[in-house]
Every structure is written in C-alpha cells, then in structure tokens.
Structure 1
Amino acid sequence: MKKGYKVTDVKREKKIGVAAENVEELVAKSCKKLGFNVSCADCRLFVAEDGTQVDDDDYLATLPPQTLFILLKNTEKMVTDFDYYYEMIRSQKKEYIDTGAAAKEFLSTNLKEKFKVFQKYIAAGDDAKTMLSERAQDPGWFEGLELSEKTKEQSMSKRVKERMRGYYYKTKTALQSSDIYIHSKNGRGKKLIDQFLTDLRNILDSHKYNETYFNRKANKNARICDERGLFQCGGLWSADKCLYEGEHVINPYRSREERIIFQTWNLDHKIELSRSIIPKILQAIDGLYSGDIKCMLCDKGSKVGGIEADRYFLQIFTRENLKLVHIVCHYKGKHDAESGVYTLCKKCYGGQSIEYN
C-alpha cells in the first residue's frame, strides 16, 4: 500500500510530495521530481530529522506518512535538520536572522528533545565574558553584526527596535489593504488611516521604539532583563508565570550562540495584533468615516471626533500587552482577550494621553 512522503535535497530549496510503496519507488520518483541528473543507484535516502539512512522496505514501513526525507547524490554529505538550521542561523542569513524563522520552523515539533540540543550551545557559553560590553573586548559575540554596533547593549537595543518596526509595518500593511482604505469615497478612508498611522508612528518615534526593553543598562523598570542581561520566560499569554521555572531562561549577552537563539523567543501579544487589535482599529476608523462615533470617555454618540492612538500604541508596542516568552510557551491559538474601539467625541478628543512604561 502506498503512503505519501515529503522529499527535499541537501539544500532544502525544493520540497516535493511523493506517494510510494517501497524505497526503490520512493527514490526513483524523488530523483525524477527533484531533477537529479544521476542514476537512482547513485542516490541515498535519509530521514531529515535525525539523519538515519533508509535503505530497506521494512524500515520505511515503520515511518509515518508525511515523513520528510533528504535525497542525496553519492557525492553529497548528509546534514540533519538541526545542523542545517542551526548553521543557517549562525551564518547570519538575513532572511532568517531577522525573525528566527529557520529555528522556529525546526522547533515546531518535538520541542523538548530539540531544545536539549540547543541547551548544549547555551551551556558551552563562557560566563566570564557575560559582563563584557564593547566589541574590542568580546569580538566573537559581534561576529556577523554590522560594524556600527559597538556595544552589546547597542546591538540588543537595535534588535528590539527591529521587532517594534515589524509590528508597525504589519499594522500598516493590514490597514492599507483594507476595503475602507482602497474603496472609500473621495479617498476619505485612506486619509483617516494614513493620519492614524502617522499618529501611531509619531508616538513610537517619541519613545525610541522602546529600545530599552533588551538593554541591560537601562533603568530597571524600562528593561525586561536583569542587570546581567538574563531574560526569563513570562509563560503562556494567560498565565501569571512560566511553568518551566528555571528552564526557560537565556542570557544573549553571554555568547554569540545565545544571542542567535534568543531570536526564537517571542514578544507575545496577549491581546492579539492580527485577530483583535487591527480589526478594532478598522472598526474605529469606520465609525469616523461614517460619522457614527461612540465616545469611550463620556459614552455619548457623536458624528465628529478622533481615535485615541495612545491606547492602541499601548497594546501593540508596550509591556502592557507584550510578554517575552520562550517558543514553547508561545501559544498560537486564539487568545480570549479583546481590544476595543477607542474613539473620542470632538469635545473629549485632544489632550488625552496615557502613561506607559
């Protein structure tokens, strides 16, 4: 009986689906689909996750459908998923290093076992170098970073600013893709959204993209880590603390490896950006557009007013709604927490400001 499998080559550039009954059929079909210009006899098949060679039908029968295999030519060397993705992260390829996407993909299954391997790199870090700050003092830590990054604190501040920019552009893209932005009469919906985005960006600029969050030398109340640079997981979005107390900790200031692995940690929105915040922003803008505003302060209806951008700023960019979490504690299902429609009537609009950390 045939089962469906996934097969790729050593470069992981193309992934194909193959239905096969035995190893010979699987190799032959994979060889053809991947465009290998060699004989099937010159190819070898391996399980991608652990590098086990598959050369008999009995072993193939024990593997579940959709197992991912690597098909190699005899001249090529097998590289396991962990080695491939970890080296990709270490090599500082920008498309992966910006978001830790490669590590996240690799860590999407069998997390406990895979993190045991990552922990080896963390344990191997030289703690004596943790408190060193300047590039000249610990040049290995800065390998692959821009020369303009002179201190660890400056580099870590840059990393959090990149995340904040990501949230802003995700919001911007969603709002500018909306029906009210594209199809509103006389471009009024477009103007309202552009004005809201300008207000949001100005608040973000004025608070320097919350660059202090990852800076261990910042004020205690302005940073997430301790004075040595140690970060602890905040746990699931709905929990008060992490269930893996003492295990989900990391100090990206200690070694280059930990700095890279830290990018798999997430700033998780308790009230979700895509599922709740952005839809509520659009609802608020629609109220302005249609002249049907419910003021959140005086609770009165109005035809003219504005949006309290500060409130959305708090939810998108600050620790009022963000929690730093280990990838194991990043719950990707729907959160039972909702944003709101933060509109103000003309009388209440203006001069309204919210305090935040």
Structure 2
Amino acid sequence: MQFLFKDERFPADADILYDALRRVNIDFLTAGDKVTQFLTENLKAKVALLNKVLNKDDSKTALSTRDEHPEWFKDLETNCITKEAYMHRRCQDRIRTYLYKTIEQIRCSDVYMNDRKARQQLLRAIAFFKIQLKEDHYFGYYFDRSRAETGNFKDDSDETDSKQCYEHCPCNFGHINDETYLYQPYLRLPQSSDTSTTIVDSTKTDETDARRLVKSEKNANDEILESCPYGVKPQGKQIAICDRKGEFKCEGRWNANGCAYSDRHRINPYRSKEELALFSTWNLDHKIERSRTLIPKLLQLSQQDINEQDIYDCYDNLFTVKNLRLVHIVCHDKGSHK
C-alpha cells in the first residue's frame, strides 16, 4: 500500500512505464526476465498510454552528436558519436538477428540433418546470404535519417558513397576476402539465449561470439566458398525508411495497404531517449513469413537443384523492404499470415 501526502498524485501505468524507460536504457530493460515479462504483458495498452505522455518537444530533434544532445546518449553502451550512426547499427542488429534465426532454423531441420545434397546447397545459400549482406551494409541505412530521400522521387544523389559509411558498417571489411569475412565473430550463429528479436549491445555480442567461434564451422565454410555458385549483386541505393527528420510511419498490418491508425502511429527515435526506447517495440515484420513460409520453401527447393533466382528471391524476402514493413506494435500481427 502506498500513502500520499496532500496534493500528491498517484502515478498511473503510463507514468510508471515512462519513468522506467527514462531512467534505464532499453538494452538493460530487455535483458532482465522480470522486465521482459513487464514489457510483454499488456504491452500494447502500456505503449498506447506511454505514447500520450511522451514529450513531443522538437527543439533537439535535429541535433546529431553526443556533445550536442548528451541526454539522448546517456547510458547507451555504444561508441557511436552520432544518432545516425547509432540508429544505423541498431537496424543492422535487427537484420543480423534474422540471419541468425534463418541459419538456426535451417540447421535444426530434418532436411539439413538427413539429406547430404540438400545440406550442401543450404550451406551455399547461407554463405551467399552472409556475403551479400556484407555488400548491402546489413541494410543499416533503413534507420539512418542521413540516407533519407530529399524529395518525392529517387535520383542518383540518393545513392550513398560506400567510403562514407560508419566505422561499424560491414562494408569496412571490404579489404579482406570473403573467406576471412565469413569468420568475423559477429556473423557466427548465436546460442539460443541470444537469438531474440530484442536489440542487444553489439559490442558485447561481438566479444562473446568471438570466444564461441568453432573450428567445425570454419571448415564447412572453406568447402562451401570454393563452390558457391551465386554471384553477389552490386549495392543498390541506400534509402532510409524515415524522413530527413528521422520520423517513421507505421506501414500497417501485413495484409493491409496502409496503417489504419494514420498519423497516430508515428515515431521519431531521434527526438528523445524515451522515444528511442519506445521505438524498440516497433517491428520489422515479414509480410511473407520467415519461419512459416520462406525457410520451409528454401528447404523444399534444396532437395532439388536451387537456381540463382530462387536464392535472390529468398534473400530479398528475408532481409529487404521488398518483404519487410515497419509496424507499430498494435499493427504487428503475430498470427499466421495466410
């Protein structure tokens, strides 16, 4: 029981959630079991309440560096010195998680374990996914407002020079060969405990994964790289899915043409630390589902001769906005997409 002094106000659910997100960074929040449970139970209602109490002050939204907006960076375990670099890395983490989960599901399948020919083809597909993701910067620019379009049309000026990428971007491993790249620690399939879709601190993950790298996987990559038949596609234009200010709009349920809530489902994680934390509840949702549809189809194809176009289509559907849409938690349908 809590007693209040005269004129004191009892805190509502939204106040409690807001204060928690304000005081503790999201990486810590998602780490604890009790906090995970808190964020899971009735999360949609809590997020809706929180959205109403968020500070919509735009005075610091355009600021970029740690020195300019220190409270935005407070308690974030990152070496990034700009908001754009941090958001770039956070998107890469989400895409990397899809790669981890894809590899895990493939390797746990009966087809992979029992069909030698299929296993060889699946290993080549995995090798291609890793190399192509390196070429595509793990699509970190999806969340990077400096890559946003300047108008309502796409032109050559929207394409980013790869030399301008951030230090943490995979393209900076371009000076090493593909074989060495495949051994980079952050590309190792994580254990079951670190394959969740929550955003985790990548520096810690990299260091942990480096210690877990196993010789058997290196030997498998040696064999597969020599015969991988799929050509790496050139980089496309690096276009963010937010506007120049950093505002994102919900794209609606997987089977809808747009968001039914219109302007109510908007967010700008560049505005404040609280909105950055809330952005972690937004999901990059597969319209054609990864686990229920895409991977089973790949497993089926692997029992025949997989052609190059099948691999390209699978890659696009797994990792690109051809099949991914950013959705508010209310619009994220976790049921079967049939």
Q: Does 1:195 align with 2:124?
A: yes
Q: How far apart are the structure 1 equivalents of 2:101 and 2:332?
A: 19
- Give the distance between the partners of 2:243 and 2:114, measured in 1 at CA: 49
The residue aligned with 1:106 is 39
State the one-letter code of the partner of 1:318: T
Does residue 183 (structure 1) correspond to residue 114 (structure 2)? The answer is yes
Q: Which structure would you say has the larger Rg?
A: 1
Partner of 1:253: 270
Instruction: Give the structure 1 partner of residue 74 of structure 2.
Output: 143
Distance change (3 Å), C-alpha of 1:217 and 1:322:
same
Query: What amino acid maps onto 1:277 in structure 2?
Result: L
Which residue of 310, 313, 327 maps to 2:312? 310
Matches within 5 A, 1:207-226: 207-220=136-149, 222-226=239-243
Query: How does the TM-score come out when normalised to structure 1?
Result: 0.61
Matched, 1:285 2:302: yes
- After superposition, the Cα gap between the structure-2 partners of 1:146 and 1:312, relative to the gap in structure 1 and judged at 3 Å, is same
Residue 116 (structure 1) shift: 2.0
CA contact (8 A) 1:90 1:257 kept: no
Matching residue within 327, 330, 333 for 1:328: 330
Q: Contact 2:21/2:277 (CA < 8 Å) preserved in 1?
A: no
Q: 2:96 matched to which residue of 1?
A: 165
- Residues 166 and 89 of structure 1: is their aligned pair in 2 closer, same or farther, counting only changes over 3 Å? farther
Q: 1:99 to 1:130 in 2, by over 3 A?
A: farther
Task: Report the Cα distance in structure 1 between the residues aligned to 2:59 and 2:33, rounded to whole angstroms.
Answer: 26
Q: Distance in 2 between matches of 1:99 and 1:280?
A: 35
Which stretches in structure 1 are left out of the alignment for 5+ residues?
A: 1-43, 45-50, 52-77, 294-304, 337-357
Measure how far apart 1:86 and its partner are.
Answer: 6.4
What is the aligned partner in structure 2 of residue 205 from structure 1?
134
Offset from partner CA, 1:246-286 (integer Å, 9 cap, x none): 11100000000000100000011000001100100100112
Deviation string 1:267-312 (CA, Å, 9 cap, x unpaired) is 1100000110010010011223xxxx7xxxxxxxxxxx56732111
Q: 2:321 aligns with which of 314, 319, 322?
A: 319
Structure 2 CA distance for partners of 1:138 and 1:306, relative to 1, 3 Å = closer
What's the CA shift for 1:105?
5.6
Any gaps of 5 or more consecutive residues in structure 2?
3-10, 155-238
In the alignment, structure 1 residue 237 sits paired with structure 2 residue 248: no
- Given the superposition, is the C-alpha separation of residues 105 and 315 from structure 1 closer, same or farther in structure 2, using an over 3 Å criterion? farther
* Distance 1:90-1:206 versus aligned 2 partners, 3 A rule: farther
Of structures 1 and 2, the one with the larger relative CO (CA 8 A, separation 6+) is: 2
Q: SS state of the match for residue 116, structure 1?
A: helix
SS in 1 for 2:81: coil
- 1:94 CA displacement: 3.5
Where is the helix percentage greater, Structure 1 or Structure 2? 2
Aligned counterpart, 2:60: 129
Task: Map residues 62-141 of structure 1 onto 2, 5 A cutoff.
Answer: 83=16, 87=20, 90-92=23-25, 94=27, 96-97=29-30, 102=35, 106=39, 108-109=41-42, 111-112=44-45, 114-120=47-53, 122=54, 124-141=55-72
How many residues align structurally?
Answer: 243
| Structure 1 residue 99 displacement after superposition | 12
Matched residue, 2:85: 154
- Cα gap change, 1:93/1:255 in structure 2, threshold over 3 Å: closer, same or farther? closer
Contact 1:233 1:248 in 2 (8 A): yes
Question: Which aligned pairs between 1:41-60 and structure 2 lie closer than 5 A?
Answer: none
- Residue identity in the other structure for 1:144: D
Task: Select 1:262's aligned residue among 263, 271, 279.
Answer: 279
Alpha-carbon RMSD across the aligned residues, in angstroms, is 3.2
Conserved in 1, the CA contact under 8 Å of 2:286 and 2:324? yes
Taking a change above 3 Å as real, the CA distance of residues 197 and 143 of structure 1, as seen in their structure-2 partners, is same
Distance 1:99 1:155 in 2: 22
1:302-337 C-alpha deviation (Å, 9 max, x unpaired)? xxx56732111110111110110000000111112x
TM-score (norm 2): 0.64
- 1:212 Cα shift? 1.0
Amino acid in structure 2 at the alignment position of 1:240: N
Identity of aligned residues (%): 35
Deviation at 1:84, TM superposition (A): 6.6
Distance 2:241 2:32 in 1: 19
**1:214-256 CA distance string (max 9 Å, x none):** 1111042611111101111111111111111111100000000
Runs (4+) off by over 6 Å? 78-82, 98-101
